[in-house]
Amino acid sequence: MLKGSIVALVTPFTKYGNIDYSELEYLVNRHCEAGTDAIVAVGTTGESTTLSHEEHIDVVSAMVELADGRISVIGGNGSNSTSEAVQLTEKMSHLGVDGFLNVTPYYNKPSLAGLVAHYKACAEASDKPQILYNVPGRTALDMTPDMIEALATIDNIVGIKEATGDVARVQELRQRCGDEFILLSGDDPTAREFMLAGGDGVISVTANVVPAKMKALVSAATSGDRSAAEQIDAELDALHQVLFIESNPIPVKWALALMGWCSANYRLPLTPPEAHSQEKIEAVLADLDLLNSQES
């Protein structure tokens, strides 16, 4: 399942900085129980940039094993080095992942020709479907509709995670790339409108905290039930906002720690949120009755 309510899952660490596989198991089980459609393993929210390649593979492998067919697992396979992205793709392809999320090469800002060559190399490394990830706020490169249309012709590229927050792109990309091309929001605050405009789902940070409510929101919005979608999203608006009060995944990990779901351990250069941010996160969770919550 590469559509619907997809969580960009955090990667739990112990206080010594190692992967906490016990907490990872707990989180995977929570999402299976809540009806989340798929998990993105080791993406931006999963702190992919501070994991070694060996850890990256190990975490994705563990998620596939823990999911045990109950929920789809999408492996993050992006890099600003094509050779590294290809290696990750090849290694994860044999782990049982259902697909890949492949971020635009960051920092080096390739041309369209470079993007096409990069994504072709990744697509040829596996027969698994791959989803483009456009997040110009982190990569310094915005994949324009022209670029996306060109990339959509590559075998195995089946959709895109659009994190620009530009809802107007939904209709344009649908016209350019066809009905089968999967359009996923990568921006929680605008995800409702993205889906009501014809998007197929969301890869969500908020879903870490309220997986069942995000599933309900996605179900309402993708079925065209504006009234229900607006009602659910209104309840979640403050949460969408506060989870980006500092760089992701700093706030969401802090929120999960307050809920008792995951320890608030980070790898440098990420650190716990500032005191004023901590207060705001706790206040929003309290308003939603989520502190030390066993509900989703």
- Whole-number Å distance between alpha carbons of 181 and 240: 26
- Residue 45 annotated as lining a ligand binding site: yes
| Residue tagged active-site, from 3, 128, 161, 215 | 161
CB atoms inside a 10 Å sphere around CB 95: 17
Helix (H) or strand (E) holding 227: helix 226-242
User: Catalytic pick from 91, 119, 128, 133?
Assistant: 133
**CB-based contacts of 129: which residues, under 8 Å, 6+ apart?**
2, 98, 99, 100, 156, 157, 158, 159
120 noted as active-site residue:
no
Catalytic site residue 133? yes
* Phi/psi of residue 165, nearest 5 degrees: 80, 10
Report which of 180, 186, 212 is spatially closest to residue 201, judged by C-alpha positions: 186
Asked whether 36 and 1 are in contact (CB, 8 A), the reply is no
Give the list of residues 6+ apart from residue 57 with CB closer than 8 angstroms, or none.
Answer: 88, 91, 92, 95
Q: Tell me: is residue 131 an annotated ligand-binding position.
A: no
Q: What is the DSSP letter of 206?
A: G
What kind and span of H or E run contains 134?
strand 130-134
Could you list the active site residues? 133, 161
| Binding-site sequence positions for pyruvate | 45, 203
| Binding-site sequence positions | 45, 203
